[in-house]
Structure 1
Amino acid sequence: MASMLEYVKTILQKVSFDRQLFEKELRKALQELVEDEVKQLKAWCYAQFGRMYRVVLNRCFRRTRFA
Protein backbone atom coordinates (compact mmCIF):
# COMPACT_ATOMS: atom_id res chain seq x y z
CA MET A 1 0.00 0.00 0.00
CA ALA A 2 1.27 3.47 -0.84
CA SER A 3 2.18 5.72 2.03
CA MET A 4 0.20 8.78 3.02
CA LEU A 5 3.13 10.89 1.86
CA GLU A 6 3.01 9.38 -1.64
CA TYR A 7 -0.75 9.91 -1.74
CA VAL A 8 -0.32 13.59 -0.78
CA LYS A 9 2.31 14.07 -3.50
CA THR A 10 -0.08 12.62 -6.07
CA ILE A 11 -2.88 14.94 -4.97
CA LEU A 12 -0.64 18.01 -5.02
CA GLN A 13 0.54 17.20 -8.54
CA LYS A 14 -3.05 16.82 -9.70
CA VAL A 15 -4.22 20.14 -8.23
CA SER A 16 -1.09 22.14 -9.05
CA PHE A 17 -2.89 23.91 -11.90
CA ASP A 18 -4.88 25.93 -9.32
CA ARG A 19 -3.10 27.94 -6.61
CA GLN A 20 -6.02 28.03 -4.16
CA LEU A 21 -6.73 24.33 -4.48
CA PHE A 22 -3.02 23.54 -4.14
CA GLU A 23 -2.77 25.58 -0.94
CA LYS A 24 -5.93 23.99 0.49
CA GLU A 25 -4.66 20.47 -0.15
CA LEU A 26 -1.21 21.29 1.20
CA ARG A 27 -2.67 22.68 4.44
CA LYS A 28 -4.84 19.58 4.82
CA ALA A 29 -1.84 17.32 4.26
CA LEU A 30 0.28 19.14 6.82
CA GLN A 31 -2.29 18.33 9.49
CA GLU A 32 -2.33 14.63 8.61
CA LEU A 33 1.37 13.85 8.25
CA VAL A 34 3.88 13.08 10.99
CA GLU A 35 7.06 15.11 11.51
CA ASP A 36 9.37 13.07 9.29
CA GLU A 37 6.83 13.06 6.47
CA VAL A 38 6.36 16.84 6.74
CA LYS A 39 10.11 17.36 6.38
CA GLN A 40 10.20 15.10 3.33
CA LEU A 41 7.16 16.81 1.83
CA LYS A 42 8.71 20.23 2.37
CA ALA A 43 11.87 19.28 0.47
CA TRP A 44 9.83 17.68 -2.31
CA CYS A 45 7.44 20.64 -2.61
CA TYR A 46 10.22 23.19 -2.93
CA ALA A 47 11.94 21.02 -5.55
CA GLN A 48 8.74 20.47 -7.55
CA PHE A 49 6.79 23.71 -7.06
CA GLY A 50 9.29 26.21 -5.65
CA ARG A 51 9.29 28.39 -8.74
CA MET A 52 5.53 28.41 -9.20
CA TYR A 53 4.29 28.52 -5.59
CA ARG A 54 7.17 29.76 -3.43
CA VAL A 55 4.92 32.25 -1.59
CA VAL A 56 2.32 29.57 -0.86
CA LEU A 57 4.97 27.10 0.30
CA ASN A 58 6.63 29.67 2.56
CA ARG A 59 3.28 30.56 4.12
CA CYS A 60 2.16 26.97 4.67
CA PHE A 61 5.43 25.54 5.95
CA ARG A 62 6.06 28.50 8.27
CA ARG A 63 2.91 27.55 10.15
CA THR A 64 3.71 23.87 10.62
CA ARG A 65 4.46 22.53 14.05
CA PHE A 66 7.72 21.08 12.71
CA ALA A 67 9.75 23.48 10.62
Structure 2
Amino acid sequence: MATKMFNYTKSILERVSFDSKLFCKELEKAVKVLLPYEIEQLRDWLFQYTKEKPELRHCLAFIN
Protein backbone atom coordinates (compact mmCIF):
# COMPACT_ATOMS: atom_id res chain seq x y z
CA MET A 1 0.00 0.00 0.00
CA ALA A 2 2.75 2.46 0.93
CA THR A 3 4.55 1.95 -2.36
CA LYS A 4 1.32 2.69 -4.18
CA MET A 5 1.05 6.07 -2.46
CA PHE A 6 4.66 6.89 -3.30
CA ASN A 7 4.16 5.97 -6.96
CA TYR A 8 0.89 7.90 -7.05
CA THR A 9 2.65 10.96 -5.64
CA LYS A 10 5.36 10.76 -8.28
CA SER A 11 2.81 10.50 -11.07
CA ILE A 12 0.89 13.52 -9.76
CA LEU A 13 4.07 15.56 -9.50
CA GLU A 14 5.05 14.63 -13.04
CA ARG A 15 1.63 15.68 -14.33
CA VAL A 16 1.67 19.09 -12.65
CA SER A 17 5.31 19.90 -13.34
CA PHE A 18 4.24 22.40 -16.02
CA ASP A 19 3.24 24.82 -13.23
CA SER A 20 5.73 25.40 -10.42
CA LYS A 21 3.08 26.81 -8.05
CA LEU A 22 0.90 23.73 -8.47
CA PHE A 23 3.95 21.48 -8.20
CA CYS A 24 4.86 23.07 -4.85
CA LYS A 25 1.30 22.71 -3.60
CA GLU A 26 1.16 19.00 -4.49
CA LEU A 27 4.59 18.40 -2.99
CA GLU A 28 3.49 20.04 0.24
CA LYS A 29 0.43 17.76 0.38
CA ALA A 30 2.56 14.69 -0.36
CA VAL A 31 4.93 15.40 2.53
CA LYS A 32 1.96 15.36 4.90
CA VAL A 33 0.80 11.86 3.91
CA LEU A 34 3.99 9.97 3.07
CA LEU A 35 5.96 7.99 5.60
CA PRO A 36 9.45 9.24 6.59
CA TYR A 37 11.31 6.68 4.47
CA GLU A 38 9.07 7.51 1.50
CA ILE A 39 9.90 11.19 1.91
CA GLU A 40 13.59 10.24 1.67
CA GLN A 41 12.87 8.32 -1.54
CA LEU A 42 10.87 11.24 -2.86
CA ARG A 43 13.72 13.64 -2.07
CA ASP A 44 16.14 11.48 -4.06
CA TRP A 45 13.70 11.24 -6.95
CA LEU A 46 13.07 15.00 -6.89
CA PHE A 47 16.77 15.85 -7.09
CA GLN A 48 17.03 13.72 -10.23
CA TYR A 49 13.75 14.94 -11.70
CA THR A 50 14.45 18.64 -11.19
CA LYS A 51 17.84 18.47 -12.89
CA GLU A 52 15.95 18.81 -16.16
CA LYS A 53 13.46 21.32 -14.71
CA PRO A 54 15.41 23.90 -12.70
CA GLU A 55 12.31 26.11 -12.40
CA LEU A 56 10.97 23.55 -9.88
CA ARG A 57 14.05 23.50 -7.65
CA HIS A 58 12.68 26.11 -5.25
CA CYS A 59 9.87 23.69 -4.34
CA LEU A 60 12.39 21.36 -2.71
CA ALA A 61 12.24 23.63 0.33
CA PHE A 62 8.98 21.86 1.26
CA ILE A 63 10.77 18.55 1.62
CA ASN A 64 13.77 19.69 3.70
TM-score computed with the length of structure 2 as normaliser: 0.85
Alignment of 1:16-55 (within 5 A): 16-50=17-51, 51-55=54-58
**Which residue, 56, 59, 62 being the options, matches 1:60?**
62
Q: Displacement, 1:49?
A: 1.4
Q: Displacement, 1:52?
A: 3.2
Tell me the distance in 2 between the aligned counterparts of 1:40 and 1:31: 14
Show structure 2 runs of 5+ residues with no match: none
What is the Cα-based RMSD across aligned positions, in Å? 1.5
Tell me the distance in 2 between the aligned counterparts of 1:15 and 1:48: 13
Over the matched positions of the two proteins, sequence identity in percent amounts to 39
Work out which structure has the larger RCO, using CA pairs closer than 8 Å and 6 or more positions apart in sequence: 2
CA deviation string 1:6-62 (max 9, x = no partner):
0000000000000000000000000000011000000001100143322211x1122
Number of residues of Structure 1 aligned to a counterpart in Structure 2: 61
